[in-house]
Structures are given as structure tokens and as C-alpha cells.
Amino acid sequence: MKKKTTNGKETKIIKLEELSWKQIDELDREKSIFFLPLSPLEEHGPHLPVGTDLFTSQDAAVEAIKILNKKNPSLSYILLPSIPVGYCKFAVDFPGSISVSGKVVRDIVFSVGSSLAKHGFKHLIICTYHMAIGHLKGIYTGMKKTMNKYDIRVCEPWGPYFYSNEVEKREPKLDFDTSKELHAGFRETSLMKYQYPYLVDESYKKLQSIYRDLCSPRVLGKTFKQLGLEDGYVGSPARADADYGRWFFNETVNVYVKSALDLYNGKELPDLPKNIKLTMRALFWQ
Ligand SMILES: [Zn+2]
């Protein structure tokens, strides 16, 4: 299928929901890469929208597709509609957080992946910004099930990057420890100040820094409020900086671009580090 151009310069993003089955049937099976943004609606402190993770995964996928269209125009990049679903049980004592079981996440990934694979498509990228292990367990189990059953390659690029501490290694030098910025803190507030400044409540400037180790076994299964996180954030939102947000956003875009090309070129897919996989395996479906 020919890519339509809007103004001659920018290539139009192909959205699956805008195509007819006829047009989809005309796509080259070997040369089409699908992007599925999948993140829950989840409270992000008193200052950020519940769609923070969903917006970021969707917008980064759109930017990645724009770059890929220029970098390798012989391939087709198709954006699927964003699915506002994920596992975020620890955040449900705040209104607006919607959590589903990891099994639901698994079934969504398998259903989307197998529906594409049954028609011969070969490449799917799951774009998520939500790094909860229970959510990733759903995604990775769904990916594995799909790839065991069908001739399709599916990958989730951000988890392996995030959990191998690549952000800390590559980010601009800062005078504080960003590895403690776990939820709606410096990083995500910076992101939203860059992407959606009008959705960031000015109160972020006055929020105290709050730190918790959310990976420790003692806190597993507890909700944010049970951990004394009354406002629903972990980190230092007041430090937010739109320039850092731009860097962080572009970093995500670059990770998506690289993964898409690696996926297409048959290279080894990024995987989660061992310790995360072990935690994931030990976790019961909730
Ligand atoms: Zn988030």
C-alpha cells in the first residue's frame, strides 16, 4: 500500500483503525511492523494526569514511526489504537487508577499478536511505559505464548532498557540520585512538562521529595496508601525540568526505533535482566 503524504514533507502515520481489511490485506506481510501502545490509566501523584504512561507510550510510538518512515521507507509502520489497560493494583486506592489482572494483559497481547499472525504478519512491538512487574509478566507471557504458537516476532523494548539501568548510564549529569525517582517523580514530571505542560498542575513545585524502595519484598502486594504514600508519588517532582523531559522522551523514541529495525532484521530481541525475570516468575497472577 502506498503511504499517503499530508503536506509532501511529512509521511502520514498509518493507523490500523482507519484502514479497510482490503487495504490491510495489501500490506506486505514481511515488511510491516505494528506498534501497540498498552499502558494502564493510573494515578500519577496530585499533579500529573492518569494517562501519563499511556500518552508517553503512544506519543513515543508516533515519533518513532516518523523517524522510521524516513530511515527505512521501504517498510510499513502501522500504529494500533492505544489500549488503556494494565496491572497497577498498588495504585487503586486513588480514583482514576484502573487495574486489570496480569492475565488480562497476557490475553490482550496474545489476542492482538495471534490475530495479526494468523494473517501472516511478522512483527509487533508492544509499547508500554508502565514498569510494574505484574504488568510486564502479563506482556511477556502473552508475547511468549504468541511466538510459541505463531510465526511472528513480538517485543517490548522499554522494560529491558529501563531495568538494565540504561537511563542512569546515559542521562545528562544531575546532582542527585535519579534511580530513586520511581513514580510520578522527577522523570515523569519532566516528561509531562515537556510533552503536555498544560496538564501538569503547578502544585508540583511544592511537592516534598518522598522515597520508597518499591522492589523490596516487604512492600510487595501493598498499595501506595498502605505504604504511607498519601499523594501517590515516589521521587522529587519539584525538580522537574522540561529539557530533561525532552531527553527522556527522545531516548524512548530511539529505543523504539532501534528495536523496530532489530526486530525486522532478525536480530536478537531485547530481554529483561535475570533478576526481573525471577521476580516475575515468583509473582502470582493477581
Ligand atoms: Zn508512569
Given this structure, which CATH class describes domain 14-272? alpha beta
User: Could you tell me if 143 and 108 are in contact, meaning their C-beta atoms sit under 8 angstroms apart?
Assistant: no
* 208-229 confidence digits (pLDDT tens): 999 988 877 778 778 999 999 9
* Cβ contact 120:256 at 8 Å: no
130 alpha carbon – ligand 1 mean position (Å): 6
Q: Taking CA 105 as the corner, what is the angle to CA 82 and CA 76, rounded to the nearest 5 degrees?
A: 40
* Ion ligand 1 nearby residues (CB, 5 A): 53
- Under-50 pLDDT residues of the chain: 2, 4-8
pLDDT of residue 165: 87
Q: Cα(183) to centroid of ligand 1, in Å?
A: 6
Distance 192 CA to ligand 1 centre (A): 10
Nearest to 174 by CA among 267, 104, 116, 244: 244
How far away, in angstroms, is 74 Cα from ligand 1 center?
34
**Boundaries of every domain in the chain:** 14-272
The whole-angstrom separation of Cα 142 and Cα 131 is 16
pLDDT score recorded for residue 274? 95
For ligand 1, the distance from its centroid to the CA atom of residue 86, given in whole angstroms, is: 11
Supply the pTM of this predicted model. Answer: 0.94
